[in-house]
Structure 1
Amino acid sequence: MVVELISVGTELLLGNIVNTNTQYLAEKCALLGLSMYHQVTVGDNRERLSETFETALKRSDLVILTGGLGPTEDDLTKEVCAQVMGIPLVEDDHTKERIKAYFKNSIDKEIPDNNWKQALVPQGAAVLDNDNGTAPGLIMEKDGKAAILLPGPPNELKPLFQDRVFPYLKKLQPEVIRSQMVKICGHGESQVEDKLLDLIDGQSNPTIATYAKTAEVHLRVTAKASDEDEAKGLLKPVVKEIKSRFGDDVYTTKEEETIEMAVVRLLKKYELTVTTAESCTGGLIAGRLVNVPGASQVFREGFITYSNKSKRKLLDVSKSTLKKYGAVSEQTAREMAIGGVFAADADVCIAVTGIAGPDAEGEKPVGLVYMACYTKDKVQVEEYHFKGNREKIREQSVVKALDLLRRSILKHYHS
C-alpha cells in the first residue's frame, strides 16, 4: 500500500514552525510496512491544496493530511478534501456535544461561532475523537482511496494517530509487520554499516535500516510474517547477531528508551547515586538525567562550574592544576570528577570540560573535550575531538558523557 503525506500550513512554508509531524508519521508508516514516495507541504490556499490533494490521490492509495482543521477561515483542509472526493459536509451531533464539553471545562466558556465549523464532517466519514483539542480527526474512504485528516498541533496529532489511526492502518495490511530497534553508541553510521554489510547485502526479510543520530546510530530491524510469532522468530536471530557484534556498544533494544533512560535504569539496578560536574555543557547532562521519570531516586545534584573560580570553590580543583594544565585538560577533568563525588556524597560522578567555540584557546582547538567518570574509586578519563558549531559540539559532548557514564557502571558493577 502506497501512502503520501501532505502538511498544510503557510507557517510551515515560511519556516515559522518546524514540521516534526512529518518525521513522526513517516516513521510510523514505515513501521507498518507502508510504502511512501512523496511528502508535500502546501500553504493555506484553496486552489493549491486542491491540486496537491488530487495529485496525491492519483498516485497513492492513502493520503494523510495534517493541519488546516481549525475554526478560522484559512483552515481549509476538510472542506477541500470533501469537495475533491465529492462528499458533502453534514453536522455531526457527537462532535458538537464534544465542543460544548470542551469549552465548558475551559477558562473561556463562551463558544465562538466559528468553532461550530469543526462540527461539520464529510458524510459517512469516520470521526476520530480528539481528547486534546476541538478539531476531530477524520477518515474518508471512496472508490478504493482513503484520506486521513489530522490536526496540526503535535500534542493533538500524536495521541490521535497512536490511539485511532494506527489500529486502522494495521488492519489494512495483510501481513504482520514487526520491528525492533537496536541503539548503538561509540560508532559512526558508516562504521556500523561496514560491520553489518554482509547482513544488509543479503537481507530480504528481515530488513535492516540505519539511522544516524547525534553521536549515536539506531538500527531498525523489520520482519514481515503471517502472524506475530513468526515475525518475532524472524527478528530474534538477527537482533542477537547485531548485539554479539557490537557488545556493550548496544545500550538498548527498546524503541522508546533513550541513553539517559538506560543510564538511570543501570543506576537503579545497582543502587547507585550520581552527580554531574559540567563546564562546557552547562548543565545539559544533568537536564537529560532529570528528564527521566524516577531520576530523583539516583540523582544527587549537579554542579555547573563554568569558571576556574567555581571549579576550585565547588569541586576543589587545585589552583596549581588549573595554572599548569588549564581548565580544558585531562588533569582538570579528573579532579572535577573526584571533587564532584565528595561534594555531593555520591557513588558516581561524570565530569566534562572542553572548548565548544567559536574561538580556540591558545593551542587547544575548538571541539577538544575531556570527560572523566569516577566509579568505584577509579577515574576513567577520555579525550574527544568533536566537529561542528558550538551547539553541535555541546550536543555530542552530552551523549558521549552519558555513554561514558553507562560504560563505567557496566565495567565496574556488571558481573
Structure 2
Amino acid sequence: MNAELVFVGTELLLGEILNTNAQYLSQQLSLLGVDVYHQQVVGDNAARLRAVLTQALGRADLVIACGGLGPTDDDITREVAAEVAGRALKLDEGLLRGLEAWFATRGRKMTENNRRQCMVPEGAKVLPNDRGTAPGLIIPAPGGKEIVLLPGPPGELQPMFARHVVPYLTARNGGRPMRLVTRTLRFVGIGESALADGLKDLLAGQTDPTIAPYAKTAEVHLRLATRAADQAEGLARIAPVEAEIRARFGRFLYGTDDEDLAAAVGRLLADRGLTLATAESCTGGLVAKRITDVAGSSAYFRMGFVTYASEAKERFLGVPADLIAAHGVVSEPVALAMAQGALERAGADVAVAITGVAGPGGGTPETPVGTVCFGLAARGGAEDGRGAGALPGGAWTERLWLHGDREGVRERAAVHALAMVRRYLTGQLG
C-alpha cells in the first residue's frame, strides 16, 4: 500500500504554523509498512484542493487529507473530498445528536454552521473525535481507493489516527502485521561521498534491505530498512548487509540507532575505567555539554575548562605566555598545552582541547576563519577488560579548516574533538 498526504490550510502556506502533522503521519505510516511517495500542501481553495485530491488519487492507494473539517465557510475539505470520490453528502442524525450533547454539556449553544460537521458522504466510515467537534472520515473512492479525512489540530489528529486509523489499516491488510524495521549505522571521520563510493556496489544493487546515506553535521548515517512481521525477522534480514558494511568501514563506525557520539565515547571510557577532562576555547563548553548530556557521565567525566581569553589559558591551564606569543593562541602547541594542563589539573586519564577561530571575524591570512587546532593528552596504561591491551600515554595534535558559519564551525569542532577521543580509545590515533 502507498499513501499520499495532503495538508489543507492557507496558514500552512504562509508559514504561520509548523506542519508537525507531516512528520507524525510519515513516521506512523512507515511503521505500518505504508509507503509515502508524495506530500502536498494546499490552501483553502476549492478548485486547487479538487485538483490536488484528484492527482493524489491517481497515483496513490490511500489519500490522507488533514485540516479543513471545521464549521466555517473556508472549511471545504469534506465537501471537496466527497465530490472527488463521487459521493453525495447526507446529514448524519446520530452525529448531530452527539454534537448537540457536546455543546450542551459545556453550557454552550451550537450554532447552525456546526451542522456542516455532521454531513457524511454516502458509504463513508465515521471516525470519532474524542478531543474536538470535527469527526474524521474514511471515504471510498473509485478503483478501490480511499480518502481519509483527519482534523488539523495535532491534539485531535494524533489520537484519532492511533485509535481508529491504525486498526483500520491493519484490518485492511488482512490483519497481517505490517512493520518497517530499520537499523541506523553512525559514522564519523569519513565523508558521505567517500562512504558512498566505497559502498557503490551495495547501493547500486540494493533491493531488500534498502540502504540510504544521510549527511549530518560532521557525521554520516546509513539507514538500513526492510519490512518484516517483527523486529527480530527484520534485523535478521539486515544483518548480512550490516556485516559487509562493518567489514569495509568498521573503523569509522561509532554507534548504531540512537546512540550518539558522546554516548559512544562515554561507553568506551567506562569500559576501560578511564576519566576525561576537556579544555575549550572557541567551542565555549560545547564538548563538555555533549558529554554531560549523557546520563551517568559523572562516572567518567572529571572536569571541563572554558578558557576563552589568553589570560585564562595561562591562569587556569598553565599555558606559558611565551608559547602563545611564539605560536599564536590558535596553534597546535597551544592546543596541546591546554590539553596537558587540563589533564594535570583535573587528575584525569585523558584530556582533549580545542582552540580556533569560529568567526565571523578574527581571522588572519595565517589563521583564517574556520581554523581549529586540537590537542589530546593521555596518561595511558588502562586495559578495557576484553583483552584489547593497554593504551599508550602520549600527546597528539591536529589542525583543521572547518567550513560553515560560526555555529557550524563550533559544531564540527565539537564533533571532531569527541571523534579524536574515540580514535585514541580504539587505538586509531597515531
Give the TM bin, normalised by the shorter chain.
Answer: 0.7 to 0.9
Say yes or no: does 1:183 pair with 2:186.
yes
Question: Secondary structure of the residue that 1:280 maps to in structure 2?
Answer: coil
Query: How far off its partner does 1:195 sit?
Result: 0.9
| 1:314 counterpart residue number | 316
CA pair 262-129 structure 1, distance change in 2 beyond 3 A: farther
Question: For residue 291 of structure 2, what is the aligned residue in structure 1?
Answer: 289
Cα distance in 1 for residues equivalent to 2:319 and 2:69: 58
Q: Distance in 2 between matches of 1:164 and 1:274?
A: 51
Task: Decide whether aligned partners of structure 1 residues 293 and 320 sit closer, same or farther in structure 2, where only a CA change above 3 A counts.
Answer: same
Which deviates more from structure 2 when the two are superposed, residues 291-300 or residues 352-361? 291-300
Report deviation, 1:384: 1.8
* Higher alpha-carbon deviation: 206-215 or 220-229: 220-229
Map 1:266-277 onto structure 2 (within 5 A).
266-277=268-279
> How far apart in 1 are the matches of 2:180 and 2:135?
25
**Per the alignment, in what secondary structure is the counterpart of residue 344 of structure 2?**
helix
Contact 1:358/1:366, CA 8 A, preserved across alignment: yes
**Distance in 2 between the 1:342 and 1:137 partners?**
66
Q: 1:202 aligns with which of 201, 205, 218?
A: 205
TM-score scaled by structure 1?
Answer: 0.76
Please say if 1:396 is aligned against 2:394. no
Cross-structure match for 2:52: 52
In the alignment, does 2:246 pair up with 1:243?
yes
1:321 and 1:168 map into 2 onto residues whose CA distance is 71
Sequence identity percentage: 41
Deviations 1:121-143 (A, max 9, x none): 8774344767xxx6999563534
Quickly say closer, same or farther: Cα 1:361–1:237, change in 2 above 3 A.
Answer: same
Does residue 149 of structure 1 match 2:147? no
SS at match of 2:348: coil
CA distance in 2, matches of 1:50, 1:388: 43
Q: Deviations over 1:344-366 (max 9, x none)?
A: 34333332221222242241122
Of 333-342 and 235-244, more deviation after overlay is shown by 333-342
Shift of 1:192: 0.9
Query: Counterpart in 2 of 1:106?
Result: none
User: Per-residue deviation at 1:248?
Assistant: 2.8
Give me the CA root mean square deviation. 4.3
Q: 1:21 to 1:296 in 2, by over 3 A?
A: farther
User: Distance between the aligned counterparts of 2:423 and 2:313, measured in 1?
Assistant: 25
Equivalent position amino acid for 2:207 in 1: S
Equivalent residue number for residue 385 of structure 2: none
Tell me which moved more, 22-31 or 326-335: 22-31
Give 1:370 deviation, angstroms: 1.6
* Aligned match for 2:424, one of 408, 412, 415: 408
Cα distance in 1, alignment partners of residues 232 and 299 from structure 2: 37
Q: CA deviation at 1:321?
A: 1.7
- Give the deviation of 1:170 after TM superposition: 6.0
2:142 matches 1:140: no
Residues 68-107 of structure 1: matches in 2 within 5 Å?
90=95
User: What residue in structure 1 maps to residue 4 of structure 2?
Assistant: 4
Q: How do residues 324-343 of structure 1 correspond to structure 2 at under 5 angstroms?
A: 324-343=326-345
Q: 1:286 to 1:20 in 2, by over 3 A?
A: farther
In structure 1, the partner of 2:399 is 383
Secondary structure in structure 2 of the residue aligned to 1:320 = helix
Question: Whole-Å Cα distance in 2 between the matches of residues 266 and 23 of structure 1?
Answer: 34
Deviations 1:245-288 (A, max 9, x none): 1113111222x222223233333444444333222222222333
Report the CA distance between 1:330 and its aligned residue: 0.9
**Paired residue type of 1:125:** V
Distance 1:279 1:285 in 2: 11
1:281 counterpart letter in structure 2: T
Task: Give the whole-Å Cα distance in 2 for the aligned partners of 1:216 and 1:31.
Answer: 25
Residue identity matched to 2:253: V
Query: SS of the counterpart of 1:125?
Result: strand
Unmatched 5+ stretches in structure 1: 104-109
The separation in 1 between residues aligned to 2:109 and 2:289, in whole angstroms, is: 41
Q: Deviations over 1:304-347 (max 9, x none)?
A: 22221222223222211211111211111112222223333433
